[in-house]
Amino acid sequence: MGSAGVVLCTMAFMVLCLAAMAAASAALGGGGITYIPSTASLKHCPSSCGNINISYPFGIGAGCFRQGGFELTCNQTTEHPKLYLGSSTTQITDLYDASVEVNMFFNVTLESGTNTYDISWDAPARGITIDGNQNVFFVLGCDFDADLFDSVRKPIGSCMSRCHGEVIPNQGSCNGIGCCSISLQNDISGFQATIVRVDNMAAQPYPLHHGIMAFMSYGESYYIDNMTDVLSSWTNASNIPAPVLNVAIMDLPSCESAQLHSTSYACVNNSICANASYGGYTCSCDNGFYDNGFYIYDNAYVLEGCTPQQDYYHPKPKEHCQRLCGNNTIPFPFGLEEGCFGNQRFQLNCTKEGDTLFIMGGVEYHVTNVSVENGTLTVSNMVSNANSSDETIVGQFDERSGGLHANNPVEDVFEFSVEYGIVIRWAITNSTCQQAKQNYSDYACRSVNSSCLHVTHKEIFLGYRCSCSSGFEGNPYIRDGCTGISIGTSCGLGSIFIALGTAILANKWKKNIQKRIRQGYFKKNQGLLLEQLISDESTTSKTKIFSLEELEEATNNFDATRVVGCGGHGTVYKGILSDQRVVAIKKSKIVEQIEIDQFINEVVILSQIIHRNVVKLFGCCLEDEVPLLVYEFISNGTLYELLHLDTAVKCILSWDDRIRIAAEAAGALAYLHSAASIPIFHRDVKSSNILLDGNFTAKVSDFGASRSLSLDETHVVTIVQGTFGYLDPEYYHTGQLTEKSDVYSFGVILVELLTRKKPIFINDLGAKQSLSHYFVEALHKMSVMEIIDPQVIEEADQEEINEIISLTEACLRVKGVERPIMREVDMRLQFLRTKRLRKRQRLIEKDEDFEPWLCPNAKNPREHVNLFNDAHIKPEGSSGCYSLEQEFVSSFRPR
């Protein structure tokens, strides 16, 4: 070969080397790989950093992580190694398949003369986003407004915090006093926050806290309960639940496009691809699986990572298996010893004491009966969790996933109780009979005289099991296990007589049982009720104890067509009593004794009240498992509906109506506080608890949360209860319920009447905002007239509006001692209403034009009702039930 040939060969070799290097570089992507690795190829990669385990697609070092945002860095120079996202300062606290938990908090030191502070966070790589469904942004400090934006300055939300001249409270909720929060709307790749201290508060000294702390956190329930740990130190973030970041593969924009490139597609076989919110995709195994009741983790990014362990069914048990454990017979496919059960899922354990145990989901249950005939396993309480209550479970043994799947709890499957335990329905596998018969070596029905049955629950297919054919009995899961039944003529006749006798006795027994059950319920419920009623002389004697038969007749046996309201806590029926009174019957879903106590509380309190503006209780029924309440039927819904469901309806909510309804409700609350036989604090005053009857007269309702006091008491300490948007902040922080707590809630109703906005509404930035804070802020900015309902401005005098604004501001003061009592609120509203009436009387006498009370063309209340119905608000007959359903919702909260 000549010199020219040598040169050509050398150049060709260099080109090949360069091409190979380029290909390797492309495959690694700067250290990241774009193919599916095997477990063996990742053995050299670090598997942990400190106490955090690392698994692919995340990794440390070249060839150990998927190209994109999956590269990690482990800093081992500190006392405890710290793990970071790539080369950023975002520290990881935990690691999952395609998500990470990180520290994301900011300490802002306040400086004299500076009121505006900016903080921000940006994802260190494409494909990393903050989970919008699980994370909340918190800001802790005093007297500031906070605005949150995404990475391109699009507004997400805002909040504000006020301390009213005090230091930050060391416990309580994040509700605008010392702390506020902003929920994310969607996933975001970064954020910017601007925190502005209120000008007139900037100079106030705060001896305990000279800064503001902001952080992103997983969820908000922890901080609603308690902020003590967070506020213990400005630099201690160990008690903050870390926010969750999602990390997507960004080689291609979607699953559809990625699946067209098999060489770089990241998901292995038997896995599911899901598109990410900001582009890219993630992978997960099609089915997780269990091993002897414990979940086994898998990895959809590694070869063979989604292959479950095989646990085949073995239809032939070995000989001489132990089939007794204490008093329990253990039939195949269940067993105690290796080789004596169909597979691991059917293994039971026998203790030295003779107890049979079944393991499901890592929890041990006592087995009391195994029935191959019915396909059921009966168990009693859990061994390792004594606090768990008994439930009915439908179980499916899944051969592919290797575990029992339980839809738990499932209603109306079996009648059960603590006495009889839990009944678990099971199937051999989730295959159909046709599929199972195709592989006879694994087919479970081994007896000649057996058949295959499908196991279903409602619309859920669970799998198949076996049963002996008609005329045979025994165990269909073993060879020759089903044997014939010999039936003679005499036996047949005897069986007929026995069947007839049994039917007669069963019918008598059933009626006797029903009678005894009703007597038991009556004794259980009435005893507690009468104990309070008899000891209270103030209770009116008109409260009636109805029989269950009376209420069944009134509602046509609680027919579904009589349902006028239903919800998570109960159902309301419209009934007609024998004296032709139309009533609303509340049938609540009470299951706990504390809820029975709240029912008694409601009956006792309503029995003591006689007032035209308080909903009337006719009586109750105690012969059912759940006590029933019988109220007057309220036909025209709630004030909340009238205010907020159709704001275009002007004629049925004039300024006169608003003053009248407010005065009637205030009069009822003032009566409860000071004129009733004993003081009663309502504790859940809100517009949905002010009902409107056929004449649109206000009726205060919902006394399940109320508390009564002796005459010498001024407050009572309780578990905080009420509705957000109406809740007194002082009561929320101290737990001390006073009459001023109801005053604050009533102040929120006055704001609703003035502005026609909901107590929690969506502001112009698309974030949720408290109406009371919104009103107070408008007062401070001297812009309150801008938020008043235009109809109010049109119909009312400025003097009248100013009077209601002044009264509302007094009711909404943060400190209860600065608020008026309910009697004063009532007097001021009655005075304003009287002035309004006199003014209208003068106009009538002068024969001047004026707006009628209800509607320009309405001459009687019935026309008003028709207009109410034409406005697409709930009509008479259905609205009454809705209002009472609203009344019942808060009756079953913890007291």
Annotated binding site for ATP: which residue ranges? 587
Task: For residue 684, indicate whether it is catalytic.
Answer: yes
Residue partners of 214: CB distance under 8 A and separation at least 6: 105, 106, 108, 119, 137, 138, 139, 140, 146, 193, 195
Residue of 583, 572, 585 lying closest to 634 (CA atoms): 583
Determine the angle formed by the axes of helices 798-811 and 771-780, rounding to 10 degrees. Answer: 120
Report d(CA 191, CA 137) in Å as an integer.
Answer: 10
Q: Which residue has the tokens 């119909």?
A: 795
DSSP 752: H
Which tokens sit at 627? 């006590």
Helix (H, G, I), strand (E, B) or coil at 811: helix
Alpha-carbon distances, residue 133 vs 164, 188, 214 (angstroms)? 33, 11, 19
DSSP 369: E
Helix H or strand E segment including 583 = strand 582-588
Scanning 728-875, the segments in alpha helix (DSSP H) are 729-734, 739-755, 771-780, 790-795, 798-811, 822-845, 861-870
Helix (H, G, I), strand (E, B) or coil at 476: coil
Catalytic residue among 684, 702, 742, 826: 684
CB atoms near residue 710 (< 10 Å): 8
Helix (H, G, I), strand (E, B) or coil at 448: coil
CB atoms near residue 38 (< 10 Å): 11
Report d(CA 691, CA 697) in Å as an integer.
Answer: 8
Which tokens sit at 390? 């008994």
| 321-324 contacts at long range (C-beta below 8 A, 24 or more positions apart) | 322/350
Phi then psi dihedrals of residue 756, to 5 deg: 60, 35
Strand pairing class (91-95; 211-218): unpaired
Determine the angle formed by the axes of helices 798-811 and 655-670, rounding to 10 degrees. Answer: 30
Residue partners of 156: CB distance under 8 A and separation at least 6: 137, 148, 149, 150, 182, 184, 185, 188, 191, 765, 767
- Across the strands, what pairs with 861? none
Helix (H, G, I), strand (E, B) or coil at 590: coil
Report d(CA 577, CA 629) in Å as an integer.
Answer: 13
| 456-459 contacts at long range (C-beta below 8 A, 24 or more positions apart) | 457/394, 457/407, 457/410, 457/413, 457/425
Q: Which residue has the tokens 């009472």?
A: 884
Contact between residue 36 and residue 301 where contact means Cβ atoms under 8 Å apart: yes
Number of residues that this document lists for the chain: 895
The single-letter code of the amino acid at 717 is V
Determine the angle formed by the axes of helices 822-845 and 798-811, rounding to 10 degrees. Answer: 170
- Alpha carbon dihedral 789, 794, 799, 803, in 10-degree steps, equals -30
Contact between residue 780 and residue 774 where contact means Cβ atoms under 8 Å apart: no
- Across the strands, what pairs with 290? 295
Contact between residue 681 and residue 741 where contact means Cβ atoms under 8 Å apart: yes
- Alpha carbon dihedral 482, 485, 486, 492, in 10-degree steps, equals -170
Q: Which residue has the tokens 């598109």?
A: 275
Please, what is the Cα angle at 35 between 31 and 38, to 5 degrees?
Answer: 95
Report d(CA 604, CA 706) in Å as an integer.
Answer: 11
Residues carrying an active site annotation: 684
